[in-house]
Amino acid sequence: MEDRLVTRFAPSPTGFLHRGHAFSALTAHDQARRHGGRFLLRIEDIDAARCQPRFDAAILEDLAWLGLAWERPVRRQSENLADYQDALARLRDMGLLYRCFRTRAEILAGIGAAPHDSGRAESPGPQPPDIEAERLAAGEPFAWRLSISAARRRLGDFASLGFDERGAGPAGERGWIAADPAAAGDIIVARKDLGVSYHLAVVVDDALQGVTEVTRGADLFAATPVQRLLQALLSLPTPAYRHHRLILRPDGKRFAKRDTAETLRDLRGRGVTAAALRQDLGLGGA
């Protein structure tokens, strides 16, 4: 088993990269270089409706401008769909999944009707076999959900599902963190439109690429328990996690592709250098 640190940066080509992406990529890259490790780039492009080739090309341009070097070939999720289907089939064969025909509106309505102090996401559960058979015969689309109760029966206990936090969670969490995947309810592991979910794809990718430390924003800290559960169920290795602070706009809001956030392309166009951006992000010299 490889002893070297292996980090990764895994953007989705749904827009141009911004300062927040630069901070995450530089943090992962610098960490690998400091420890004589490897830095990987992964393109998470399974959402064909939103991902565009021009954004894919822009990611490579932006990272090269930042002075980053990564291993080739770059793993693209759209080229490895069979890997996710294999993992999905394993979970299904273990009896851990059920079909969910509910629409987004129905799910939101169910959440709104739930007790506000429950602290748990909803878990709709499978439909009666006769109803499910009717809906399948009618050709209704469905997602695959992971049954938390079935997962608990298989593992016996969730007490061992902790993770090593080398950065900090949103409340400053560090060190060994106990994971509570049940708080997320019966998560979707295969969306109706994509055939896989972010959670399943990312744990499969990290395992196949040998990632030993996942670097990402503190906004994804809450996703870690669910991913730890999937790793345990699929007997995948557990990386350490380095969640980092979010880079905020002057108005205090986080940068996002969907708004008018200043992109790395904008900065280059204004003559900002990668070295100046690094200093502005508080990352010091290269």
CA 19, CA 229: separation in Å to the nearest integer?
31
Query: Strand locations in 110-258, DSSP E?
Result: 143-146, 163-165, 175-177, 188-190, 213-217, 240-244
Residues that are catalytic: 257
232-259 CB burial, b ≥16 within 10 A, e <16: bbbebebbebbbbeebebeeeeebebee
107 exposed, middle or buried (CB, 10 Å; 0-12, 13-18, 19+)?
Answer: middle
Inter-axis angle of helices 53-65 and 19-34, to 10 degrees?
50
